[in-house]
Amino acid sequence: MIKVIAIDDEPVALDIIRAHAEKIPFISLDATFLSATDALLYVKNECVDLVFLDIAMPDLSGIEFASMLNPEVQIVFTTAYPDYALKGFELAATDYLLKPINFMRFLKACKLAETRYQVPDVKKRVEEKALFVKDGHDWVQIKFNNLLYAKAEDNYVGLHETDKHTLTRITLTELQAKLPTDQFVRVHKSFIISRQKIERIEKHQVTVAGNKIPLSKLYRDQLLQDLKGEL
């Protein structure tokens, strides 16, 4: 059961969220707040998995409130202003709902939250042989054995597998921290590659499953040292 709270300075908006939540069996709306500052004490003392959060509020904005939350708490922003969408997704929001919120759109957001909520359990079941990344509104499983290389692309990272390509909003450094160090290695400021998929190492590039990946001197010496140590 996903433990939920809702924050909105409009009572009618909270009534709509409450009515929608009652129809969904896998979430529990445990509290609602007209003030974000009042909700701060609650989230510090109670377990909360998901927050439905208005953005434009008088005392403390939804953006400010979200920045204070534990990163593990999911956020679904609710607002009448579409201009806030980009900022919402910069804060890794699970979803962004425009008012008035209809039930089917609310249900979709809850299902996205449920998928994300279950990710830790899924990772345990696959024994850390995969990770999940967000691709648009969806969560996609990336199997380590299928991942050839990752490439930084502006504010995103492209994950190139043997059978598909996924673009996710994350930094290469953040991704590197999630990958097993015995399977993946950084070879360039913009590239991480699979050790097992290396076919050829040249002075300025590495061939990974037929793909030519640039190799910078900063990482080349360490790569060769590591590979020699494995022989």
From residue 135, alpha-carbon distances to 94, 117, 139, 168 in Å are: 11, 16, 6, 5
pLDDT of 64 reads 84
Architecture of domain 2-123: 3-Layer(aba) Sandwich (3.40)
pLDDT of 115 reads 86
pLDDT by 10s per residue, the chain, length 231: 899 999 999 999 999 999 999 999 999 999 999 999 999 889 988 899 999 999 888 888 888 888 788 878 899 999 887 665 555 555 668 888 988 999 999 999 999 899 887 654 434 433 457 788 888 877 888 889 899 999 999 889 999 998 899 999 989 988 888 888 888 999 999 999 999 899 999 989 999 999 999 999 888 887 887 776 554
What angle do helix axes 11-21 and 103-125 make, rounded to 10 degrees?
Answer: 60
Query: Contacts for 104-113 with beta carbons within 8 Å, 24 or more apart?
Result: 106/17, 106/20, 106/24, 107/20, 107/23, 107/24, 109/76, 110/2, 110/24, 110/26, 110/27, 112/137, 112/138, 112/139, 113/2, 113/27, 113/49, 113/50, 113/74, 113/76
Instruction: Provide the edge-to-edge strand list for the sheet that holds 205-208.
Output: 198-201, 205-208, 211-214
Sorted by where each begins, the domain ranges of the chain are 2-123, 130-230
* Top-level class of domain 130-230: mainly beta
